[in-house]
Amino acid sequence: MRHISVSLFLACVLAACGSADNATNNTNQTENSPADTNTAPETDTTNGSDDNATDVGDTNNGTTDNTETDSGDSNNGSTGTDNNQDNSNNNAGNCDRTGFPEGTQTSARASSGGWQFEAADANTTAFINVASFVNWDGPTTPGTYTLSGINYKDCGLCLLAGTGCQDGTCEKLYYAHEGTVDVTSAGLENGTVISGTLQNVVFEEVTIADDFTTTKVAGGKTWCFDTYAFNEVSVDPNAPQEVVAFDQTASSCVTGGNGTGLGHNIDNLQLQNWNGETISLHDHCGASSAVWYVHTAGWCTACDYWLPRVQQLHEQEATDGLEVYYVLGQDLQGEAPTAEYCTQYAEAKGVDPARLLMDNGAAGAWGVFQTSINMYDAGYIPWNAVLRGSNMEYLWADNVTDGTITGLEEAVEEALGKDVDFSVMLQE
């Protein structure tokens, strides 16, 4: 799939659809990981979808629940802290629902991958999300942009909404195919003001296929915004936390390891690949220069962007000792992947099946991995971590830094002991 969007309850990171240029330039490596979400399809799962939290990858198609009352539809404006104004949300034609009820919660996010604004009602049972994806030519500057009916699969400026949401799933999902968005302020930096106005925007109830194609629900509901203003200061949810690295790193691999955080020598982490072969980390001690782990899932659309580029860089640097492994924690439905599913996934993503590791057993998704390598509460995927091959020293991860190695390119070059051409990570 091409990308994903988010909602307040979902947990996917917008940077997820971000370009890889952060991989080389931004200390916030989120760009490197087109991030999808937490460890499961959140809002996406509803019928749908998720960004940064939601990863519409879910297979739960929105239902045409005719019992929905949409009690808050006629409430004008929001009482949230976002400084939204003039959100009168007048009746925009023959609509089943208009505007937001009282008590709207709002937030905005920005990173190298794009920006987004989202709002949800007080109980987070309904949301709208306005997202601009850089890799799909979404707007990053002020202007008036027309919603021309482009499918969610291909849109750069994407508007999603949901109702009847609970525990990361929604009874109904909506996609905006008509109206305009007047963007008055937007950008890709943390702290940027994200503001604009929806004008005569109409959301139609849709289902979202596995490839993120939206299909209008026959006899489905509509949700309209005559006028809806938004204004929020963005945050970058992927900014790495700073930690003090372990300073007694051994020069060779340590049996049993000496810790799980940055600077530690990681233990002999063992995971099975798609055909049941056990892949042991310490088998690479001294034989590889760098070991790069990439966490992925069947519902992760940002991974569809990221994995092929990782594969290309691996092919480019394999002779110099770069090892890459893809850790699959969930299938399309957020369940434990089967061997059959792993085979299908490897073929679909163009990944070497021998490098696709399964990790979803008694400890849950990515549970075995986390007993050996601290993920520092990463709330999104794809998630990347790099180890030094000579001693399995934990050098770097997307969401953490010790201030010494701050980016993916830096980490790979440090481990390989050479400059690396990262241009393949920037290709469309």
- Whichever domain contains 313, its CATH number is 3.40.30.10
State phi, psi for 160 to the nearest 5 degrees: -120, 155
Which whole number is the average pLDDT over 418-426?
90
Indicate if 313 and 372 belong to the same structural domain. Answer: yes
Domain co-membership, 34 together with 72: yes
The pLDDT score that the predictor gives to residue 428 is: 57
Q: Kindly state the percentage of the chain with pLDDT values over 90.
A: 52
Residues 334 and 354 occupy one common structural domain: yes
CA torsion through residues 20, 21, 23, 28, sign:
negative
Q: Quick one: CA dihedral 149, 152, 156, 162, positive or negative?
A: positive
What does pTM read for this prediction? Answer: 0.57
Regarding whether 180 and 63 lie in a shared domain, the answer is yes
Tokens 């049993």: give the residue. 256
In contact, 270 and 281? CB cutoff 8 Å:
yes
pLDDT above 60 for 302: yes
pLDDT tens track for 221-242:
999 999 999 999 988 766 788 8
Do 346 and 390 fall into the same domain?
yes
Q: Is 182 exposed, middle or buried (0-12, 13-18, 19+ CB in 10 A)?
A: middle
- Domain end position, chosen among 233, 263, 295: 233
Q: Flag whether 6 is in a domain.
A: no
Joined together, the tokens standing for residue 385 give 């971590």
Among 233, 261, 292, where does a domain finish? 233
Per-residue model confidence (pLDDT) at position 123: 83
144 and 248, same domain (yes or no): no
Residue 7 is assigned to a structural domain of this protein: no
Note the pLDDT tens digit of each residue in 94-119. 899 998 866 688 989 888 778 999 99
Amino acid occupying residue 349? K
Domain final residue, candidates 185, 212, 233: 233
Q: Quickly tell me which residue has 């400059």 as its tokens.
A: 419
pLDDT band (50, 70, 90) for residue 23: very low
Q: Token pair of 223, please? A: 């949700």
Question: pLDDT confidence of 263, banded at 50, 70, 90?
Answer: very high
Q: Name which residue leads in pLDDT, 178 or 34.
A: 178
Q: Angle CA(242)–CA(31)–CA(197) in degrees, nearest 5?
A: 110
Q: Indicate the pLDDT class of residue 373, thresholds 50, 70 and 90.
A: very high
* Residue 410: domain span: 241-426
The mean pLDDT value for 405-413 works out to 93
Please tell me the predicted confidence (pLDDT) of residue 235. Answer: 82
- CA distance readout (Å), 67 to 24, 70, 175, 368: 51, 9, 20, 43
CA atoms lying within 13 Å on the CB side of residue 152? 37
End-to-end CA distance of the chain: 14
pLDDT interval class at 406 (50, 70, 90): confident
- pLDDT for the residue numbered 339: 84
pLDDT of amino acid 275:
76
Domain identity same for 160 and 246? no
Of 48, 20, 21, the closest CA to residue 34 belongs to: 20
Kind of pairing between the strands at 383-388 and 290-296: antiparallel
Q: What confidence score (pLDDT) does residue 122 get?
A: 84
What value does the mean pLDDT take over residues 77-86? Answer: 35
Tokens of 312: 């290309």
The mean pLDDT value for 9-30 works out to 30
Identify the three-state secondary structure at position 408. Answer: helix
| Mean pLDDT of the region 264-286 | 93
Closest by Cα among 125, 101, 120, 118 to 158: 118
Split into its structural domains, the chain has a count of 2
